[in-house]
Amino acid sequence: MNILTFEELVNECNTRNKLIHEVIQDIEASDNDINVDEVRQKVKIHIETMKSTIKIGMTSSEKAISNWCGDDCEKLQVRYSHHRALFGKLFEKIITYSLATIEENLRMGKVVACPTAGSCGIVPAVIIAVSEDYNYDEDTQINALITAGAIGAIISNKVQLAGAVAGCQAECGVAAAMCAGALTQMLGGDISQILNAVALAMKNLLGLTCDPVCGLVEVPCVKRNPILAIHAVTSSELALAGIESKIPLDEVIDAVRQTGQLMSPMLKESSLAGLATTKTALELKEKIFG
């Protein structure tokens, strides 16, 4: 994709008088020498995979190697069978679907990386749950995922989407930003509101570390997915109300890159600091690996 910044994206949308997903699917079709319908069919497969992952994850409680994670989705479903969430049924769906997805990842199940495997529960949970509650059709879901992908792709031009390079701000942080933009589009937001949602989500996760216990994509990764799915929804709600990021989105991404560069290597997927070196984490490491 030859759009490198969000400013360029806005200019391209204005020039073509098209929405973000329309511009991106046109570019993808041209770059890959296929038609737009073929582009959308590929995205449809991703949507179907997301739904399948959620369905499988909702029915499994198989534990991971650490024996710490794998049954949180089940626990949540049990709770909601007796007590309704404070924020209602949609809230329940979003965090349950998010846990179902990320727990399938730790079981080595099939997931769609959004943008990474460790952050795979954020975008699908919101797109699928909201579509179910608002009766959004398949085309709306495809449009949202194309927009989410465009957001991730543009961010990746400046920041490598890996915890080992820029911390979890570049994984779960970017996933939340992608999700916020996609949701804002689904709810009828214009380009300005979509990009403000992205900026609000992203800048409020600056400095998020990647300190996985035992080097596994489990703690704190699993619970981080449902929590940041709701963070994405909050960012979207603010943007749709006309609340703007005072810092332009491209400058926010510059800050993400700088923050990643300044972050200690001990807090970037090395498991040499943070949660990974707490007393309990070290005891677990000894138990698992000896």
Report the alpha-carbon distance of residue 86 to residue 83 in Å, rounded. Answer: 9
With H, G, I as helix, E, B as strand and everything else as coil, classify residue 114. Answer: coil
Number of Cβ within 10 Å of residue 83's Cβ equals: 9
Please write the tens of the pLDDT for every residue from 114-168: 999 999 999 999 999 999 999 999 999 999 999 999 999 999 999 999 999 999 9
The domain 6-289: what is its CATH number? 1.10.4100
**Per-residue model confidence (pLDDT) at position 39:** 98
Share in percent of the chain as helix, strand, coil (round to 5) = 70, 0, 30
Could you tell me the residue ranges of all domains in the chain? 6-289
Percent of the chain with pLDDT over 70: 100
Asked if residue 250 has pLDDT above 80, the reply is yes
pLDDT band at residue 252 under the 50/70/90 scheme: very high
Q: How many CB atoms lie within 10 A of CB 226?
A: 25
Percentage of the residues of the chain whose pLDDT score is greater than 90: 96
**Residues whose CB falls within 8 Å of the CB of residue 187, separated by 6 or more in sequence, listed in order:** 130, 236, 240
Please state the rounded mean pLDDT for residues 42-55.
98
| pLDDT at residue 234 greater than cutoff 70 | yes
Query: What average pLDDT does the segment 256-268 reach?
Result: 98
CB-based contacts of 257, cutoff 8 Å, min separation 6 = 158, 159, 166
Check residue 1 and give its pLDDT.
67
Closest CA to 232 of 160, 163, 172, 151: 172
pLDDT band at 66 (very low <50, low <70, confident <90, very high): confident
Residues in the chain: 290
How distant, in Å, are the alpha carbons of 24, 70, 101, 120, 191 from that of 223? Answer: 32, 11, 11, 12, 31
d(CA 205, CA 234): 13
Q: What is the pLDDT of residue 91?
A: 98
Report if pTM > 0.85. yes
Mean pLDDT of 2-25: 97
Q: What is the model's pLDDT at position 65?
A: 78
Mean pLDDT, rounded, of the chain: 97
Q: pLDDT at position 55, please?
A: 98
